[in-house]
Amino acid sequence: MLIFAISDKGGTGRSVTSANIAYRRALPGADVCYLDFDFGSPTSAAVFDVPSALRGTEQAGLHSYLRGEVAEPQRIDIWAETESAGLRPRPAQAGQLVLLPGDRGGGEFVLGSDTVRRCADLFLRLEEEFEITLVDLSAGRSYAAQLVLEATALPELSSVTARWLVFHRWTRQHIIAAAGLVYGDRGIMATGASRGHERDRLRDSVRFVRAAVPSPSSPMFAELRPAQALWLSICDEDLTRLASEHKLGPMLTLGTVPLDPVLQWREQLITDEDVLSSQVANLETAQAFADLAAALTDDRRWQSPL
Amino acid sequence: MRIKPRQQLLEIWEAVAAQGQHGRLWQGSEGAYRNSVSDAEQLLCLLYPATEVPALRLEVPDQTAEDVLAALRRIGDAVEIPRALLDGLTGFMDRHSVDGAPSFSGGDYFDPDDPDVELTPEQRELGVVDAYSLSITLSLATLGFLKYFGPGLTRADLKRTAAELEAATSRRLSAAMVCLLRSFSVSAFRIESDQGRSLCDMINRAGEPNRTVVQRLQRRLDPLRATIRDRFSLGLAGTDDLANDNLLFEVGWSWGIIENAPPIDTDEPIGEQPEGVAQDAPYLYFTVIALDGIADLFSERTLTLGLLNEEQQRLAQALRLRWELTQQYWSALARFDDHSWPLEDIPWRTTDRQESLYFSLLVTSILVQDLVRRRATDDDLARTVNVLEELAIRSKTIRRLVPDDTSLRLHNPGVQLTLLGSERLGPLMRWSVTDFSAQLLKRSVQLRGLSRNIGAHERLLRLAESVMDHLWERRIGAGVGARLWDDLSGVYPQLDEPGSPLSWSFTERIVESLVAAASMVRETPIRSTRLIELATDLLSEADHLLDKEMMNGSGGNFVSVHNMLRQAEVRLQQARRLVRDRPGTACALALQVLTSLEELAAARRTTAWGS
């Protein structure tokens, strides 16, 4: 199954959330690979704490592959190469967790039919090997997004399930921007339709993920004065209404990741140890990632409920 | 008990949702007979608040409030709840139609007048005004619900279901209006007949000669008589009798379609219009029930959402005319003698010489509606409040029921209405009404919404709260219907047969009352001129003292003093903004300012003493 992670604005926690989803999915045994399609700044290796590819790999990254310079993009086995002590050794039962990094300083590139062809081939090969192929696209309307929309519209990929996670933060601007990215001009729906995707099917394969959401029940807000708390809850209701009006309400939201101090200060994987042993991260955060990981393949969550 | 509409409605919703466990939610009536009244009441318990109280809406799943979801979790999540409603409503429309035409059967709400005989199946299928009236309310609620729920649908199967439901609902609405028009009665009788004498006795409280009273009554009713003669034709057999000045008359609704009522010419696809059997004479109870339903036809919501089609608007106009006229008629009777209202002579006596507190309450209900329409004086209002208070006491709603209390009969077995005309199809039928206390709550809340007089407002609030205390005690304790109504043993432990069955009609009345209370909360508080004066004076003093303190260049460079003065300035500004709408709050702000200015002044005095 192909999962595309996208966001309109930067700073939505797209990379760190999707990396955590991949990690949570691999833990109980699924084989997962993670593709860094953020061609402008390929930094997801940092989240996995793989020093050799911190700002992209030196050679044979995804750029090189898509440009046709190498036959196979480089693969990094996270369990083996990460420097993070919490991730090593590979936990019992865990499946593969593989990173396909971008090239250092790769930059954007021109879209051509060859590129689309190579992209589709790669997806097909990975589909055979992995249960989940998670593709981290860059922020905004990018070549990368166009590329995968074209690739998935090819007949040979028609039998492969492709789903979209649209990340946004819980603010006015982010909500409006995320709606624009999906429903607006040159958005996913419009671009997809123009590339030959069936409208209804594409709409049913898009779900939103709310990241860094302050939850009123969180202990962080226990000390608020009544007026502050009331103000906050009214703003929250306004946002709920706004989101619903922009068609990204709870019905189309796959999950919500609460605001977590650890993620505020460092983009990293949150392990069970962080939650249970050192307790630097919140249990709710880890749970949200696990729920999202499970929801990826829960077909009921991907049907139009109404 | 304080009336908290949102919390109490949610508590009721939670109990309603729990009925699903007993397999009873929206599955249709239990008994062998279809009962469209009870089924409609059951649906309205959820749908009515959901469509009338914005905070409790259900039709946009993405915006359903958290506490609403918690209360209804037994039905499902934000998406499953409106879908369950869609299914429930579709089921209702299917169950209560015969060959595609809406039917309005009273089913097991009909009782035989003689308990030893059994009603015929044909009789059980008869329509009844309760069903017509509730169908109007239910249809309008459903159409409004679909207005918002429909556009959010993307799935083809659900879209189809919603479109079919909308068509069936609109049919039912037209059919209900037609039936109400055909149940309307103008009954004329001779002055010296039993009815005529009874009417005169009722309104003649000063002991005047009968002839004078009749003359005054005729004069008062003349405009109504003319309107009926000239403008009423739809669904009435004839109004020729009204030309005869020797006849008196009554207007209102009978219990069902009147015998020989002509069918109404309409293009609406409502099927064949059934023959009527009901006696051509108004019943107070059914009149009030009809008036309640008709009022929904021209509510603000119906108009703004555009829920009626052209033909329905025509029917609604005809009903509105009857609605206004009926109110004027009964209001004129109730207040016939300004010195001493017939209504104040409790209990009210009907022209067939039946007496009950319930009839007094019904006439009050009509009067309340009429008071709103006429923007009644404070005096009329105060007198009506007196009547409600006395009814509450006499019915033992806000007093303790003692063993062998005669007022118990009002609540159990309730007021019995014989449905004259039903004997044409079998044994004579009866209709029992037990919801006195729930009606009392509804009318107190309604009247409170009308009054802009603080004294009357307060009294009605206290009354409604006491009635609520009584009603909350009457909830069913456990088992089927737990936390719903009606179990009298809570207020009358000596009851022979405790553990009454769940009554949707009683429950629905309470839901309606709470919805009325909720709509009142949205209004601004009543303005008190006294408070406005007080607030203005306080502000003037505070302003002056603040100016003085500023002039003194208080506090040098100390931030705390500076902040205090700045805060005082802001508070006074805010208080001036509020002084008209919320003078009490303005007073409080002014007092805060005065207190803090006094702190500074006290400090100043102390320094003077030290030097």
Please report, for residues A304, A306, B439, the alpha-carbon distance to residue B87 in angstroms, rounded to integers and kept in the order given: 18, 13, 30
If residue B70 lies in a helix (H) or strand (E), which one and from where to where? helix B66-71
- pLDDT tens digits for A46-63? 899 988 777 667 778 898
On whether both B258 and B155 belong to a single domain, the answer is: yes
**CB burial class (10 A; 0-12, 13-18, 19+) of residue B451?**
buried
The pLDDT assigned to A155 comes to 94
Q: CA B113, CA B417: separation in Å to the nearest integer?
A: 9
Same domain for B477 and B368: yes
d(CA B282, CA B252): 5
Domain that holds residue B25: 5-191+236-521
From B489, B521, B553, the end of a domain falls on: B521
Distance CA B146, CA A306 (A): 13
Q: Does B574 touch chain A (CB under 8 A)?
A: no
Is B164 within a domain? yes
Determine, for residues B61 and A243 on separate chains, whether the beta-carbon distance falls below 8 Å.
no
In A, which residues are within 8 Å of B60 by CB distance? 244
B516 and B544 co-located in one domain: no
Whether the CB of A302 is below 8 Å from some CB of chain B: the reply is no
Long-range contacts of A220-225 (CB under 8 A, 24+ apart): A220/A259
Say yes or no for a CB contact (<8 Å) between A306 and B154.
yes
Give the span between the Cα atoms of A27 and A87, in whole angstroms: 10
> Which contiguous run of DSSP H or E holds residue A100?
strand A97-100
Is residue B376 scored above 90 in pLDDT? no
Which pLDDT value is given to residue A109?
64
pLDDT of residue B498: 57
Same domain, residue pair B113 and B41 = yes
**Inter-chain contact A306–B60, Cβ cutoff 8 Å?**
no
Q: Is A256 helix (H, G, I), strand (E, B) or coil?
A: strand
Task: Yes or no: say if B85 and B18 are a contact pair by the CB < 8 Å rule.
Answer: no
The token duo for B307 is 């829920």
CA A293 to chain B, closest CA, distance in angstroms equals: 21
Question: What's the rounded Cα separation, in Å, for the pair A39 and A105?
Answer: 8
The answer on B588 and B541 residing in a single domain is yes
Among B521, B540, B572, identify where a domain stops: B521
Structure letter (DSSP) for residue B98: E
Is residue B489 located within the same domain as residue B549?
no
Task: Look up the CATH number of the domain holding residue B82.
Answer: 1.50.10
The CA-based diameter of chain B, rounded to the nearest angstrom, is 105
Please check whether residue B331 is in contact with residue B190, taking contact to mean a CB–CB distance below 8 angstroms: no
Q: Which of A183, A239, A306 to mutate to test the interface with B (most CBs of B within 10 A)?
A: A306
Are A22 and A294 within 8 A, CB to CB?
no
Residue B402 is classified by DSSP as P
Name the more confident of A287 and A87: A287
pLDDT of res. B11: 97
B79 contacts in A (CB within 8 Å)? 251, 305-306
The pLDDT confidence band at residue A215, using thresholds 50, 70 and 90, is confident
For residue B348, the cross-strand partners are B356
> Which pLDDT belongs to residue B610?
59
pLDDT at position B499 over 60: no
Same domain, B107 and B183: yes
B555 and B505: one domain? no
Question: Which of B62, B81, B155, B160 to mutate: most A Cβ within 10 Å?
Answer: B62
Q: Report how far apart, in Å, the C-alpha atoms of B551 and of each of B430, B538, B555, B566, B598 are.
A: 82, 20, 11, 14, 15
- Asked whether residue B536 is assigned to any structural domain, the reply reads yes
Domain presence at residue B398: yes
**B372, containing H or E segment:** helix B357-374
Rounded CA-CA distance A68/B170 in Å is: 65
CA distance B18 to B44: 16
Which uninterrupted H or E stretch holds B535?
helix B529-551
Domains of chain A: 2-300 (3.40.50.300)
Token pair of A262, please?
A: 């650890």
Residue B142 lies in a domain: yes
Nearest to A305 among B60, B63, B79 (CB): B79
For residue B271, pLDDT beyond 70: yes
pLDDT digits (tens, 9 = 90+) for B503-528: 999 999 999 999 999 998 888 888 88
Nearest CA in chain B to A247: B62
**Is B135 part of a structural domain of the chain?**
yes
Is A243's Cβ below 8 Å from some Cβ in B?
yes
Distance separating alpha carbons of residues B454 and B535, to the nearest angstrom: 18
CA atoms of B128 and B34, how far apart (whole Å):
13
Closest CA to B276 of B259, B295, B301: B259
- As a whole number of angstroms, the distance between CA A63 and CA A105 comes to 10
Predicted complex ipTM: 0.80
Q: Which chain B residue has the Cα nearest residue A203?
A: B154
Residues B360 and B466 placed together within one structural domain of the fold: yes
In single-letter form, the type of residue at position B214 comes to V
Q: What does the buried/exposed string (b/e) look like for A202-214 if buried means 16 or more CB atoms within 10 Å of the residue's CB?
A: bbbbbbbbbbbbe
Q: Provide, rounded to the nearest whole percent, the portion of chain B with pLDDT above 70.
A: 96
Say yes or no: B542 and B463 in one domain. Answer: no
**Domain count across chain B:** 2
B62:A304 CB<8 A: no
- Listed in sequence order, the DSSP H helices in B184-209 are 194-203
